[in-house]
Amino acid sequence: MPKKRIVVALGRNAFGETFPEQQKAVKNAAKAIADLVEDNYDIVITHSNGPQVGMLHTAMTEFARLDNHYTVAPMPVCSSLSQGYMGYDLQNILRTELLNRGLYRPVATIITQVKVDPFDEAFANPTKIIGRYMSEEEAEKEKQKGNHVVKEEKGYRRIIASPKPLEIYEIDSISALLDANQVVIAAGGGGIPVLEQGTVLKGASAVIEKDATSELLAEAVGAQLLLFLTGSEKVYYAYGEADQHPLDTLTLSEAKDYIEKNMFEAGSILPKIEASVHFIDGSDTREAIVTSIDKALDAVHGKTGTHFIK
């Protein structure tokens, strides 16, 4: 009987915001994933890169400002850099955790590109704020380059598009590694958004919603379970309100109703709810769960977490 295939989507709490925080946090994530490997599951891991890609973009922009011989790193480059160094930490720490348990399962990171539509309406309505604060003069220069900026209390910042993911280009490589009994880290940060121009893939100045790419990845590799690991053991109805309460299960109709009534926080839990609904809507054999990192195995065994059902 083939092993069950799981896509594990790690939230930003799995990595922290600094290099030391990442080293510490990834150890917890590695333990949770090793538990699933030990329980005989095939695993694909994807992850957030919000703080990290912003840090890289800020650092490279500042570097270019200090030495005009260099240019600012485009967003696709920053995204690929974040996939590389975050994958480096996770694959090495997870490898150590597995070997310490007597498990030999190679771990590999795939730099992943994701197709987006150049005519996606998101490009006309950017929503993702990135990078450092700028002065009004610097913001004006960004506008002259054709970039979008937004004014905040502390100054101006760039704001970029978040188009829908359409296709994962490295899916054959990911699937081949899975079939070879390897743990795969892929599509970090939602993947590098690219535009297809004949045989050329051109990076887009955008950030893809990572939870939407996690769902696309789960479908593409034939996963039976999409597991979102966050900072909370369960999803809360009306979080922060007087009538908030944890949800053990969410039916498709309930989830769609709550989404319509704005009961989930946009930019936080909402994308996970939407991705979970989309994943199980098209199949009777798929599952989706949202839980915390330390409860991953318990949630997979049905003991906790929020489970999406038809």
Taken as a whole, the chain contains a residue count of 310
- Quick: pLDDT tens for 86-144: 999 999 999 999 999 999 999 999 999 999 999 999 998 888 887 778 888 888 887 88
Three-state SS for 289?
strand
CB contact at 8 A, 68 and 185: no
Q: How far apart are CA 207 and CA 189, in angstroms?
A: 8
Q: Which two tokens stand for residue 150?
A: 């937004």
No. of H helices and E strands in the chain?
9, 17
Residue 14 near residue 51 (C-beta atoms within 8 A):
no
| Kind plus residue range of the DSSP H or E element containing 59 | helix 50-66
- Give the separation between CA 108 and CA 18, rounded to whole angstroms: 23
Q: Tell me, what's the pLDDT at 6?
A: 97
Top mean pLDDT of 9-18, 25-34, 52-61 is at 25-34
